[in-house]
Chain A
């Protein structure tokens, strides 16, 4: 039992923290957010140089070959800085998907290019009627000779517009909720028949609904066995969920820090409002929530690659429940304690609050995971 980060993990965190505090201040975030694409090439280059983009890419493919604990060590810094670039989508989740098929040369080459910052890939899996159910896949892939033809619609695909390659799940057999029958395809974003409806999300990141209209792909663009990739997709999503928890904890820490600073400075009735016990107790409650969330982000990182799926999901659902509830409390109370200023676009507080709101809505909210936990705990 040991909850200390290793020296290497600490150094990684410090390097990312240092880079982002120099390069990714609130002004920079604001200008990137307002840009057309919503992400910045020079930052992406910088993250590649730091090793962030190849963090979990195998060493033989040009990455660092690290895992969830190193991801945990640096994701909080990304959250804290409100990083808009697709680290979670590409460097964590899509990388985890591709790692499962790294023996295939196409996946291996893509991973190398991703580690170098030359290519971005994102997983396009969830569908508009699936809510948070990863088994619900209705997009179809029909094979005819040497060609697959894809038809379907993927909903709220994070950073799809930034991606060179979409990793699209599609049914080659079976019905919507079947575990078997789901295949995975590397689809160039610019392929004929791929249409993206790109929009900003509530927290200023970019996402898109992806429409696939008779998209024709060579057989070689399929990754893994036909009809048998859902396990790998779920495994990658679990790794992503753990990373999202770590990101959210970084956001919560930033909100708590900002709120403590604010109530010490803000004067009303002739004294700093932090002298009022009602506010002191609220802040104590925020800290209590934060420490619970931090603990669960550690648990998520430690368990997100566990071979025992039940064990893994119990831990991840428990983590997402706590992180969601803590994020809601800390976000709402940070706005409340900043008073009118908390409502403004001018302060970072509202942006951090919105990032937590987005995190709650991704990968299943607290209620979804509470239910899943209850069902698993009984089984």
Chain B
């Protein structure tokens, strides 16, 4: 048992750091580190940089054009990327649909889709949730009816993340309404330019446009865009849900945000002393730092055990629950750290480059402008990807209840 990474793993970490030093532009990292908004182009640009280095398909095996990293290398890459302020990779292509295409897609599908995902040439989004199918995903109602060499899709998807940028959407649709819920579902890849698709924004409480409703009216999808067999889509979807484990806790981002919290608490004053020295606030920071440390070690334990055999127990749910709780705690402490200057809510101040009127004293610290929106936004963490309550249901099943 040892905490330190091996020499090879350390060398790999250095390689990632060197890449980040050379290829991550300062204007992008400044936005990420300060919580300013990132646009589509910046995410795509970063994906292209990774692709040029051979890292576009981050978790992929070599045979599909990935770097063939093991889960420890993926963890190190994500941690270093987060600490350096690299954009968070949009997971829908590289981490979600790609593994499904690799495992269940045809050779033609693999050649058609995987290279463009790695290269950032096509943006993917997810069509899972529906207004009536959230945690109970298998109750989804969007229909696909066979018509010759096509499926005709009708229905509505929701909580579709960044679909306004997407070229493709992977969807769960119902192809058999008579069968038991899980058995009548098919996994389709749908071109977002298809006639009959309408994307409508849902504005969230932080004022941002991150999610959408996607409507399908008589959308014709060629049957060659079906993954695997008809009515077996639930199996593929479950595979996908169990796939992404190594970075589910987001340790790197949490470390970065904790450091930011400490930096801000050192610059905020109360009774003439830094907030960081206030016993109650300091204790709350210490608590979240300790909780994060424990979670980091739990995450490393999972990686360590995965060298022997893939984790099949409640690990992923534990990491998801604690990871999201810790992220939410940090975002809440960040909000409270700036006190009354968390109140001003100006959309323009949430973007990089916004300037105070230089002729006046600053209306609060610049770093305060994004903290309330970030706090509001982070409430999603315990809801998406299987609510934390669903995760607890999964845990209790895993331990035999």
Contact = CB atoms under 8 A, between A and B. Distances in A.
A377 interface: yes
B1 A292 contact: no
A217 interface: no
Given A3-B304, A281-B389, A296 B283 contact: no
B1 A3 contact: yes
A378 B1 contact: no
B285 A374 contact: yes
Given A284-B317, A318-B289, 8 more contacts: A5-B1, A9-B1, A69-B1, A277-B393, A284-B314, A284-B395, A284-B396, A287-B318
A373 B286 contact: yes
B305 interface: yes
Given A3-B1, A302-B1, A295 B400 contact: no
B72 interface: yes
A241 interface: no
A280 B393 CA distance: 7
Contacts of A322: 290-291, 294
Given A291-B318, A302-B2, A283 B396 contact: yes
Given A283-B401, A299-B293, A4 B318 contact: no
Given A263-B401, A264-B400, A284-B395, A3 B294 contact: no
A285 interface: yes
Contacts of A263: 401
Contact of B400 (A2, A260, A281): A260
Interface in A279-307: 279-281, 283-285, 287-288, 291-296, 298-299, 301-303
B401 A280 contact: yes
What secondary structure prevails in chain B residues at the interface with A?
helix
A373 B396 contact: no
12 contacts: A1-B2, A260-B401, A283-B399, A284-B317, A284-B392, A287-B395, A287-B399, A288-B322, A302-B1, A371-B283, A374-B279, A377-B289
Contacts of A296: 293-294, 297
A265 B21 CA distance: 58
B4 interface: yes
B12 to A, nearest CB: 12
B72 to A, nearest CB: 7
Interface residues of A, number: 42
A301 B2 CA distance: 10
Interface string B262-289: 0000000000000011010011011101
Contacts of A293: 294
B321 interface: yes
Interface in B354-401: 389, 391-393, 395-396, 399-401
A321 interface: yes
B286 A377 contact: yes
B243 interface: no
A370 B282 CA distance: 9
A274 interface: yes
Contact of B305 (A3, A264, A301, A374): A3
B304 A1 contact: yes
Nearest to A374: B286
B295 interface: yes
Contacts of B305: 3-4
B9 interface: yes
Contact of A295 (B277, B298, B393): B298
A2 B401 CA distance: 31
B19 interface: no
A303 B4 CA distance: 11
Interface string A260-282: 10011000000000110101110
B399 A4 contact: no
Nearest to A279: B401
B399 A374 contact: no
A2 B305 CA distance: 8
Q: Kindly list the 7 A-B residue pairs having the minimum CB-CB distance in the complex, ordered from nearest.
A: A280-B396, A295-B297, A374-B286, A284-B392, A284-B395, A3-B304, A292-B294
A96 B290 CA distance: 27
A318 B399 contact: no
B9 A1 contact: yes
B3 interface: yes
A94 to B, nearest CB: 25
Contacts of A281: 389, 392-393, 396
Residue from B9, B297, B298, B301 having most chain A Cβ neighbours under 10 A? B297
A1 B5 contact: yes
Nearest to B325: A288
Contacts of B396: 274, 280-281, 283-284
Interface in A358-379: 370-371, 373-374, 377-378
A370 B290 contact: yes
A5 B301 CA distance: 11
Q: Which of B72, B282, B389 has the most CB of A within 10 A?
A: B282
B303 interface: yes
Interface in B301-317: 301, 303-305, 308, 314, 317
A274 B400 CA distance: 9
Contacts of A303: 3
B304 A2 contact: yes
Contacts of B298: 291-292, 294-295
Contacts of A294: 298
A118 to B, nearest CB: 32
With a 10 A CB-CB cut-off, give which of B9, B286, B290, B391 has the most chain A CB atoms. Answer: B290
Interface string A107-123: 00000000000000000
Given A3-B301, A3-B304, A284-B395, A298 B318 contact: no
A49 B303 CA distance: 37
B300 A1 contact: yes
Interface string B100-129: 000000000000000000000000000000
Contact of B297 (A277, A283, A298, A371): A298
B178 interface: no
B395 A292 contact: no
A9 B305 CA distance: 16
B6 interface: yes
B310 to A, nearest CB: 15
Contacts of A321: 287, 290
Contacts of A9: 1
A6 B1 CA distance: 7
Nearest to A6: B1
Counting chain A CB atoms within 10 Å of each CB, the highest count among B303, B322, B395 belongs to: B395
B42 to A, nearest CB: 32
A378 B282 contact: yes
A292 B322 contact: yes
B3 A1 contact: yes
Contacts of A279: 401
Contacts of B293: 296, 299, 318
Contacts of A277: 393
Nearest to B5: A1
